[in-house]
Structures are given as structure tokens and as C-alpha cells.
Amino acid sequence: MTEAALTADRHPHPDQTGRPTLRQTWPIHGRQALQLLGSYVVITAFFVGLGMLITGPLDGSFVVHTDERVARSFADNRTPTWNDASSIGSMLAETWVKVLVTAIVAGALLLSRRRWREPLVICVALILEAASFITVTFLVGRNRPDVARLDTSPVGSSFPSGHVAAAAAYSAIAVVVFWLTRNRIARMSITVACVAIPIIVALARMYRGMHYLSDVSFGAILGVTAVVMTALILRPPPLPLTPETNSGDRHGVRAG
């Protein structure tokens, strides 16, 4: 890509108001669409393979025995207080919650930044995670833990945890924050939140008898992988090296 093209991507030709039009900031074209499709295929194939391994050759192994022991331990140590707390923790990644959070954050970014890249990173990461999860859980079909369950689910398969994968996909918000600001407090705050939420959701889902330890572990990896692939594909192109760019870097200013 030429220097002129890179600059145009960062600073598209403005409309009569002096701002780039939303259409000019759209970052998904043929190449990016194919890369996202390829990412879906690779992620899905990898996690289907893992799931088949756990439900096949590794059935009865140390991994599965550990899963069962952890599931029984959570079920045997339930209390009314933790039942209520785990319900809240699980709710952090319910479908309606993650859709609402994604819509609010993406909408706010679109209105404030007047461009598509950052909102799409958040939305596409969640879509990629959800599409991969649905396919994997359907093909693997692992039974849920054989303990009393505190929730119901329209999805009967246990591997991987869709709640934890969705919670990990919230880290796309952290990616956008790191792109837009070098403020340490903002970066630290979003990092802590994006680490804490998947852990809370994972503990809640195991406590409530909905998933094994391996389910939530690989769910987190799936969610993070979807975010990383989306961010790499939709990342802003690098700015050409100019005296102005170097001056901005020295003063901690992030372009774009």
C-alpha cells in the first residue's frame, strides 16, 4: 500500500462539513471479509478438534477426572449466599447483556469518533466468537456435568462455555481503548475489568453446574482468540513516518 493510500485510510476525504463520511471509513472489504471467514474456519476446526479429543481419546484421563472432581466440589459446597452471587456473575455474560453492552459501547464510539473501525472491532469480535462457539458446541456435543444444575440452557452441549467465551470477547473493548488513548488509568482500568469478568463468569458457571473446568478454560481461549484475530484483521494501517508523526509520538499523542 502506498503512502498516499495509508494516509487516506487514516484521514479519508472529508465531506462538506469537514468530516470523513461514514462510508469512507468502512474498513471491511473483500480481503478483510475473506480473512474473517478464514479465521472462523480455523478457530472452529481447532476447537472442534480439542472437544473431540476431550470427549474421545482423553475420556477417562486426568483431564476429565479433574473436571469431574471440580464440578462435584462446587456442587457439594453451595450456599444460599453464593447461589445468589453466582447468579449475578453468570448474568454478566448472558446473551441480552452482552448484546446490550456491545450495542451501547459500539454506538457511543460511532457517534463520538464518526468512523466504523473501532465499533466494528467490538461487534465483529463478538460475532466471530459466537459463530465459532455455536458451531463447535453443536459438533462436539459434550454432556454437561453430572451434578444438580442451578440454570437451564437452550444449548445442551457443555464444550466450550459460551458465557465465558463471550465474557472474554469483551476484551475487544480493551483493544479499542489501547488504540485510542495512552492514559494509564484508562488502560489499567479496562485491563482489570477484562481480566476479572471472564474469571467471575467462569467461576459462576462451574459453581452453578453448567460447565467443567476445561469448558470454561477453552471458552476463555476461544473468546480471546476471536478478539485477537479481529483486531489484527481490522487494525489501523500504520502512519507514514513523517516529522509530524515523530513529534506526536514524543508527546504521547495517538493519531487516528
Tens digits of residue pLDDT in 2-43:
444 444 455 555 555 556 677 888 889 999 999 999 999 999
Flag whether pLDDT at 102 surpasses 60: yes
In a domain, 126, yes or no: yes
Q: What angle do CA 89, 225, 160 make, to 5 degrees?
A: 50
In a domain, 117, yes or no: yes
Residues 6+ apart with CB under 8 A from 50: 218
Predicted TM-score (pTM) of the model is 0.84
Structural domain boundaries enclosing 141: 30-236
Q: What is the dihedral of CA 151, 154, 156, 160, to 10 degrees?
A: -80
Per-residue pLDDT of 162-219, as tens digits, reads: 999 999 999 999 999 999 999 999 999 999 999 999 999 999 999 999 999 999 999 9
Flag whether pLDDT at 85 surpasses 80: yes
Are 97 and 137 within 8 A, CB to CB?
no
In a domain, 16, yes or no: no
Flag whether pLDDT at 244 surpasses 60: no
Residues 6+ apart with CB under 8 A from 104: none
C-alpha–C-alpha distance, residues 198 and 184, integer Å:
22
Q: How many domains does the chain have?
A: 1
In a domain, 5, yes or no: no
pLDDT of 3 = 40
pLDDT of 82 = 96
pLDDT of 10 = 52
- Give the best-scoring range by mean pLDDT among 115-119, 201-205, 234-238, 251-255: 201-205
In a domain, 22, yes or no: no
pLDDT of 243 = 52
In a domain, 156, yes or no: yes
In a domain, 196, yes or no: yes
In a domain, 133, yes or no: yes
